[in-house]
């Protein structure tokens, strides 16, 4: 048949030519726990109409965050994206363009990347930013690799407040790149002291602000401790809107800043694609992964743009590349740039203040419920509440009432933490500008009934 043109004899001949006995041998480097045994639980074949109906019925079982009161966060946030963003990024000249391998004929692409870099550098308080990366989590791992190169050390300290998904990716990189990742135990109360974990062998300390529990902290003492030991401070921001209200990482002494930029210009989209932001000090410029678009003038003195650095590319630098990731989330970066341009500096600050105000209002409501307590002294638009029963059960009960009440900490940290059995009762709750007063009342009312 036309979709499976190779016969068994064809496949046998191909396998013999490359020196393996079966198709399974092609996957021998994939760990067995990561392999699927058997078929996916789907019908073996159907006509197109039947497939549409079946998949449509399956999709209808989902509860979309935009259709109900949603307080989900934990690294992915629901914000209002103006319709003009999608209208612009879907123009053919933007939607179909890709990597500017011939930069001189991609002036439009380079210009918006230059604007994107400028915006990222401004909000992070850093000297220079690259032209985006896959997402915040892989950018975090790349930041650790950069710190290792810069300091010529191979031991990174990971805060217990770092999002567990980010930590897992850094640990995976460590396992296969030959460096050490020391993870500190989670600290739901926010009383984490990382200064004692830094020594002369530390390449960097990775800390998230606000952290995964929503705590906001002053990173200046930690930055000073890093400088004394010759280590770099890597600051992770999973909610980029917070940079409109909080002291920038650069102002607090960060050496590298990585962010998830999804909140600006990009919807939740079932988890992607997202866009990683990466910024650093100018003195570390040549160790930075990713492309860098720069401004210049042509022979006639007209303003133009060039691809100033592309040192990560293996097709250019091969084994000397700073990184071997081969693309950036260009369209998502464009959406970020357009949304930021529409907001402007004043609008960005106002958006951040609105998020914080909504979160404060919600925290006050929830703290007034018997048996419920808010753990945070300072937060932006997300905080942690302690419940009198397992948070996962509460979330299920809320979902039955068409309320997405938040993310149980146990979903992010399923393994028991020694000495901290109370993690099961913790719930992460986020309130962005999309949350209404009616949504807050619905959550508070339902929670009061469920936990009593």
Task: Tell me the longest C-alpha to C-alpha distance in the chain.
Answer: 75
At 416, the pLDDT band (50, 70, 90 cuts) reads low
Nearest C-alpha neighbor of 234 from the set 279, 204, 261: 204
Q: What would the pLDDT profile of 357-414 be if each residue is shown by its tens digit? A: 999 999 999 999 999 999 999 999 999 999 999 999 999 999 999 999 999 999 999 7
Nearest C-alpha neighbor of 79 from the set 287, 343, 323: 343
Q: In this predicted structure, what is the pLDDT of residue 326?
A: 64
Counting DSSP H helices and E strands in the chain, the numbers are 12, 15
Do 259 and 276 contact (CB within 8 A), yes or no?
A: yes
Percent with pLDDT over 70 in the chain: 94
Whole-model pTM: value is 0.90
Residue 449's alpha-carbon distances to 216, 372, 394, 452, in angstroms, are: 31, 12, 10, 6
Q: What would the pLDDT profile of 270-281 be if each residue is shown by its tens digit? A: 888 999 999 999
Instruction: Compute the average pLDDT of residues 320-334.
Output: 80
The phi and psi torsions of 235 (rounded to 5 degrees) equal: -110, 130
Q: Which CATH class is domain 69-79+344-451?
A: alpha beta
Please give the Cα distance from 413 to 166 (Å, whole number): 12
For the structural domain made of 83-340, what CATH number should be given?
A: 3.40.640.10
Sign of CA dihedral 179, 185, 189, 192: negative
Residue 447's alpha-carbon distances to 264, 306, 385, 424, 442, in angstroms, are: 30, 55, 12, 17, 8
Please give the Cα distance from 29 to 35 (Å, whole number): 11
Q: What would the pLDDT profile of 286-315 be if each residue is shown by its tens digit? A: 999 988 999 999 889 999 998 887 755 555
Sequence spans of domains, the chain: 69-79+344-451, 83-340
Do 321 and 312 contact (CB within 8 A), yes or no?
A: yes
Q: In this predicted structure, what is the pLDDT of residue 317?
A: 63
């Amino acid at each position: 048949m036309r979709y499976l043109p190779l016969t068994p004899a064809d496949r046998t001949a191909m396998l013999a030519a490359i020196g393996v006995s079966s198709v399974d041998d092609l996957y021998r480097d994939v760990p067995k726990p990561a392999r699927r045994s058997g078929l996916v639980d789907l019908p073996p074949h159907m006509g197109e109409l039947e497939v549409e109906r079946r998949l449509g019925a399956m999709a209808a079982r989902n509860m979309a965050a935009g259709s109900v009161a949603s307080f989900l966060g934990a690294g992915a946030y629901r914000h209002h994206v103006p319709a003009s963003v999608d209208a612009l990024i879907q123009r053919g000249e933007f939607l179909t363009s890709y990597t500017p391998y011939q930069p001189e004929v991609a002036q439009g692409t380079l210009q918006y990347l230059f604007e994107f870099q400028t915006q990222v550098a401004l909000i992070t308080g850093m000297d220079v930013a690259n032209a985006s990366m896959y997402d915040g989590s892989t950018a975090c791992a790349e930041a650790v690799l950069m710190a290792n190169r810069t300091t010529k050390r191979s031991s990174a300290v990971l805060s217990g407040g770092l999002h567990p998904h980010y930590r897992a990716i850094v640990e995976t990189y460590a396992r296969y790149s030959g460096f050490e990742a020391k993870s500190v135990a989670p600290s739901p109360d926010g009383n984490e002291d990382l200064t004692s974990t830094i020594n002369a062998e530390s390449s960097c300390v990775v800390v998230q602000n606000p952290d995964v529990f929503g705590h906001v902290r002053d990173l200046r003492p930690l930055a000073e401790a890093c400088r004394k030991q010759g280590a770099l401070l890597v600051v992770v921001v999973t909610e980029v809107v917070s940079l409109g209200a909080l002291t920038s990482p650069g102002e607090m002494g960060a050496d590298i800043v990585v962010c998830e930029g999804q909140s600006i210009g990009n919807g939740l989209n079932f988890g992607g694609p997202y866009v990683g932001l990466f910024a650093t000090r100018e003195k570390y410029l040549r160790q930075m992964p990713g492309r860098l678009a720069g401004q210049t003038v042509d022979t006639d003195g007209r303003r133009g743009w060039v691809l100033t650095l592309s040192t990560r590319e293996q097709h250019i630098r091969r084994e000397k590349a700073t990184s071997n990731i081969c693309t950036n989330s260009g369209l998502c970066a464009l959406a970020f740039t357009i949304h930021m341009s529409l907001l402007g500096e004043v609008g960005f600050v106002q958006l951040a203040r609105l998020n914080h105000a909504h979160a404060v209002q919600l925290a006050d409501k929830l703290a007034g419920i018997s048996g419920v307590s808010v753990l945070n002294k300072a937060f932006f638009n997300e905080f942690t509440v302690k419940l009198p029963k397992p948070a996962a059960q509460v979330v299920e009960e809320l979902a039955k009432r068409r309320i997405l009440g938040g993310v149980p900490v146990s979903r992010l940290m399923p393994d028991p933490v020694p000495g901290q059995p109370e993690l099961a009762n913790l719930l992460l709750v986020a309130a962005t500008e999309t949350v209404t007063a009616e949504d807050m009342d619905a959550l508070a009312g339902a929670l009061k009934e469920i936990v009593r």
